[in-house]
Chains A and B, each alone.
Chain A
Amino acid sequence: MYNEAMERRILTGAEAVACAVELVKPEVIPVYPITPQTHIIEKLAGCVASGRLSAEFIRVESEMTAIGAVAGALVEGIRAFTATASQGLLFMHEVLHWIAGGRLPAVVAVCTRGVGAPWTLWCDMQDVLSQRDTGWMQVFASSAQEALDFLILAYKVAERCSIPAMVALDGFLISHTAEPLEVVDDEVVSQFLPPFEFELALKGEDPFTLWPIPGAEKYYRIRKELFEDHRKALDVWMEEFDRWYSLTGRRYSPVEAVLPENAKEAFVCVGALSGTVSHMMKNALLDEGVGLIDIKLFRPFPEELLRNAASSLDTVYVIDKAVSYGRSGILGEEVEAALRDVCRVKNMVGSLGGLDLGPERIVELYRRARDSREKVIWI
């Protein structure tokens, strides 16, 4: 049934995001350009200019104002969207905390990119994983199809939980790579995503204040609630993934494991890398018995699902594209904390600033990590 409602198109990740935005129909879109996000906002500029999307499209002077305007629109109960990357996301940092603490269901697309200094334009995950502790949900797409689907899903979950969500897609690797995908139609999206109603929205009639200074007890309680609601949001993601499956036939899970029979080892990664690893598995470029665990949802962190996925494994190899200096890869640190008593966890910093990470290099890393006692393996 669902197949008929689906249009097959060839789109880049950036175009897929713009396409999803068109379907979600946010009414306020403040934008500020940064590579590799620009194709998203250019596409949206066209949509709005041509009247295909009816929205306030605001060309602001900085990412700080862009995200501020998103928050301002939400405060008035109007759905909003923006996209960014790298320095732009870092520039938003203060407001990201504010939005999460303020329980605004903002959604931002991030075309992931390394951060300066020195300058880099190319892909890694340092920008987005550095926002780990802001209180935003973080979901990682490993294809343009997922970028499209996750953006729509992110609105649904964010609005159900009053927790903001970031949809990460690898800069260039996904944002600029065209692939065939299925675009859901308007009807499916309006079935899936109800009109936005935000209970905290300012109403003209009553005096109402958002975020005045509370006592420490109250502050603590507000933040504790956010923590607990984040945990609960995991179930909401699973419910909405199921619902999405029933509407579109595309099935997702916060943790997706592809393990050959009798697998004893697996790679763990987020984003486009899982595409590379799964290609290697399909083409027998990996040793037999090596599988893949693809983490789609990073915040809230699906710890139990990950533990289950790894329960029969001896070793996992985490490939990171972001580092916590003085410690290890960021993903590696998280996976190690979750699997400490389940299996061995090896951490490899596979790529930063767009360093090419193809099958050969992955095999080389894997060999070295397997034989090495080093805590963190660098190329």
Chain B
Amino acid sequence: MDLTDCGLMEPGHIACAGCGAALAMKMVSRVIPEETRVVVPAGCWSIIMGRHPDLCVRVPNVHTPFALACGFATGMRAALRRKNGDSPVLVWAGDGATYDIGFGALSAAAERNEDIIYVCYDNEAYMNTGAQRSSSTPYGAWTTTTPDLKREDKKDVVFILAEHGIPYIATASVSHPDDLMKKVKKALRKSGFRFILLFTPCPTGWMMEESQTVNAARLAVEAGVFPLLEVENGVFRVTYEPSWIPVERYFELQGRFKDLDEKGVSSFKERLERRWRRIRERVKDAHL
């Protein structure tokens, strides 16, 4: 992959150095058509997209309130239908907008099978407000509102959305750009509600060296922490088999797991195994 090709993204943005979410947009903007409506609810991307009147991705873009991405996108899609416009409508939302405050609207848009591509850039916390916990924050992670570490599992949004029976769900990681772009392209070819979850490490919130973004994303995939999946009409597929490196190697890079003790780490591993058992079951079902 040509790393200098920024697609529709301007060279230069105002995200933190090493921002995984900015990197993810660079990849996505290489494959989306330039008339793609990009809907951005509150989050780091409200800033990254550019200060007035700048725009760092050359697309028609709308900023919305936090829980309103699906509302706006629904109206825009309906309006485009009236105009016979077939521009894709793409929501670009953080995990807080997706897993938490906009979750009801997300579920409803999926249930209505709105003709929208919903992309969640997942940095596993409310980063824009200073790294507070979201329901995407993993078990054992430090955030500013879980100084004693998060005790609950990361919400499994892929499973929940899979139960909505939408045409396409994919997960992808900035460590695997070709896979990521392939999945976005595939989503673009389909219609109906499409959901893509992107793993986008945040050096600032994860207390990690800026140079380690891609590395952390890769280790997360290889340790099975972030599974690369596709779900088409409810049918699960693992698109990349992890090499099952120890999760400690992933944790080591980051400050947010440094207080997790041995017991915590083994609990994390058990949770991980459970999760993969569930994934394997769904994959097996698919072959019955």
Contact = CB atoms under 8 A, between A and B. Distances in A.
Do A and B interact? yes
Interface of A: 27-28, 30, 56, 58-62, 64-78, 80, 94-95, 98, 202-215, 218
B79 A68 contact: no
User: Residue among B35, B60, B61, B79 with the most chain A CB within 10 A?
Assistant: B79
Given A77-B79, A78-B83, A213-B51, 8 more contacts: A56-B78, A65-B109, A71-B71, A72-B75, A72-B77, A73-B75, A204-B85, A218-B52
Nearest to B8: A207
| Chain A residues touching B, majority SS | mixed
15 contacts: A30-B71, A56-B79, A60-B71, A62-B104, A66-B71, A69-B75, A71-B64, A72-B39, A74-B75, A75-B76, A202-B62, A204-B60, A207-B34, A209-B50, A212-B49
Given A73-B76, A212-B52, A95 B68 contact: yes
A6 B107 CA distance: 46
B63 interface: yes
B137 interface: no
B73 A72 contact: yes
Given A202-B37, A204-B35, A68 B52 contact: no
Given A202-B37, A214-B52, A207 B65 contact: no
A78 B82 contact: yes
A100 to B, nearest CB: 13
Contacts of B71: 30, 60, 64-69, 71-72, 95
Q: Name the 8 nearest CB pairs between A and B, nearest first.
A: A68-B71, A72-B75, A69-B75, A61-B108, A76-B79, A78-B79, A214-B52, A204-B35
Contact of B79 (A28, A62, A94, A210): A28
Interface string B37-59: 10100000011011111110111
A68 B104 contact: no
Contact of A98 (B64, B85, B111): B64
B266 interface: no
Nearest to B70: A65
B6 interface: no
B35 A205 contact: yes
Contacts of A207: 8, 34, 55, 57-61
B105 interface: yes
A353 B229 CA distance: 53
A225 B55 CA distance: 23
B86 to A, nearest CB: 10
Nearest to B62: A210
B81 interface: yes
Interface string B202-246: 000000000000000000000000000000000000000000000
A203 B37 CA distance: 10
| Chain B residues touching A, majority SS | mixed
User: Residue among A56, A71, A72, A206 with the most chain B CB within 10 A?
Assistant: A72
A64 B51 contact: no
A28 B114 CA distance: 14
B104 A209 contact: no
B23 interface: no
B191 interface: no
Interface string B82-111: 110101000000000000000011011101
B76 to A, nearest CB: 4
A210 B74 contact: no
B193 interface: no
A65 B74 contact: yes
Contacts of B62: 72, 75, 202, 209-211
Contacts of A77: 79, 83
B78 A73 contact: yes
A62 B55 CA distance: 31
B72 A68 contact: yes
Contacts of A70: 75
A364 B11 CA distance: 73
Nearest to B60: A202
A99 to B, nearest CB: 10
B277 interface: no
